[in-house]
Every structure is written in C-alpha cells, then in structure tokens.
Homo-oligomer: A and B are copies of this chain.
Amino acid sequence: MISKGALKYIRSLQIKKYRLLHQAFTVEGEKSVAELLQSDFVLESVFATQKFIDKHTSLLRKGLEVVQVSEEELSKAGSMESNNAALAIAKMRPAAAFSWEEHPFVLALDEVRDPGNLGTIIRIADWYGLTSIVLSENSADFYNQKVIAATMGSFTRILPHYVDLASFLKNRPKSVPVFGAALEGENVHHLELQPTGVLVMGNESHGIRPEIMQQVTQPLHIPGRGGAESLNVGTATAILLDNFFRNI
C-alpha cells in the first residue's frame, strides 16, 4: 500500500518547486522504471505491482525499498492515465559543469517549452549517441514527469545542463561552430555536415531568440516542397541530427 505520506510526496514531485526542494523526481511505467533500475541513479523508493516485481526481480538491488501496490493505487498516485507496472522516486543527478572537451558535438535548446517535445528530443539525442543536452533556463524541466515518460528511458543516458544560453555560446572555445535551425538558413541537403559544434533548436512558436541567433555561425534549413509552414521542433531536431550523423 502507498501510505498517505508517500502519496503526498509523490504528488508534490509533479511540481517543479518541490522537485527542486527535494532534488527528486518520479518515473512511471514499466519501460521507464526498468531502465531506471539499470542505471546509476540513486533511488529513494519503488512502488510496484507483484507482476512487475516478479518480472524484474534481478533489477531490484539489495537494500532498495520496494513497496508492493495495486494497479489502481499506481494510477491514482502518478500522472499516467493507467500504470500496471511501477512508479519510482529517484534523486536528480547533481548539476555538473559542461565540458567542451568531452562533447565535440552538443544539442542546445532555446526555450523549448513543451514537455512532450523535450522528451522526444532527448530520445532522439540518445538514438544518435549524444550524452548531454544544453537547455536555456526557460526550457521545459528535464525532470518533469511528462518529459521523463516521453524519453522512453533515454533520460538515464542524457545529462541536462541548464545555462544562460547567450553567455554559454559567447564563452565557447573560438573554434566551435554554432548551427541553428532557421527558415532562412542554408539547405542541409547541400552541406556535408559533420557532428562538431553546437546545434541550437528554438522555441515552438518563436524559433531561436535574436540574441541567440547572433551567436549562430551557420543557420540551417530543411528544404520542404509542400504546403506545411513548419515542422514540429522534435521532428526538425531528428532530421537535422540525421543530417549531421550521416557522413561519419
């Protein structure tokens, strides 16, 4: 059973203020919790159905608090419409300084606000082997439960760095190019892009802010041929990353 205190704590973690206060967040659903259990995240507790416990016994580390609960309790406690597997509470990773040496290529998001979009982008970044993501301070919260769900487990392999993006780009090593998605950029199909530098993706409605655009050394455009005015930011990120990684 989930105690009243635990229920209150779980629900508080759906709000950013309390996630920051406790430096903790929730992970829901079979795939996401199973990936979490295989990662090096510090866990506070796991609430799981007997079925999940039986199926994933080997993943349940010694000393870990595992509370057996019903599907109804899980669905009531968490943010998913239905959850027949598990809900875990994990500690956020400590914020770390970004190292340019370790990341010859990095994806930077300028005020991407939609949690679903951010989650999709994290999954795509993981697909192409990135291990960090840089986000402007006003971007969606990496540890939001909808973001975590949309990453399909990729949140365990990508480290977020929230920064003042304008300063971050200004202070980069001089040789690092900055690419940015823009409607009036160069046709990516005519470039042989190499994954070196920074790729900036902008806000869902307004694109990249002018002060960030000033730092972009190579605007990029995905050529369209039909009537659609734009692509979703997750879709555009996927196409651009594929264009960067196709030549190596």
Contact = CB atoms under 8 A, between A and B. Distances in A.
Interface string A136-162: 000000000000000011101100000
A228 B152 contact: yes
Number of copies: 2
A120 to B, nearest CB: 6
Nearest to A151: B228
27 contacts: A120-B232, A123-B228, A123-B235, A124-B231, A125-B226, A126-B227, A126-B228, A127-B224, A127-B225, A127-B226, A127-B231, A128-B226, A129-B226, A131-B226, A152-B228, A152-B230, A153-B227, A154-B227, A154-B228, A156-B227, A157-B226, A157-B228, A189-B247, A234-B234, A238-B238, A239-B239, A242-B243
Nearest to A187: B246
Contacts of A129: 224-226
**Which applies to chain A's interface (DSSP): helix, strand, loop or mixed?**
loop
Size category of the binding interface on chain A: 35 or more
A124 B238 CA distance: 12
Nearest to A189: B246
Interface of A: 120, 123-131, 152-154, 156-157, 189, 222-232, 234-235, 238-239, 242-243, 245-247
A120 B235 contact: yes
A133 B191 CA distance: 30
A156 B226 CA distance: 12
B235 A222 contact: no
A152 B247 CA distance: 32
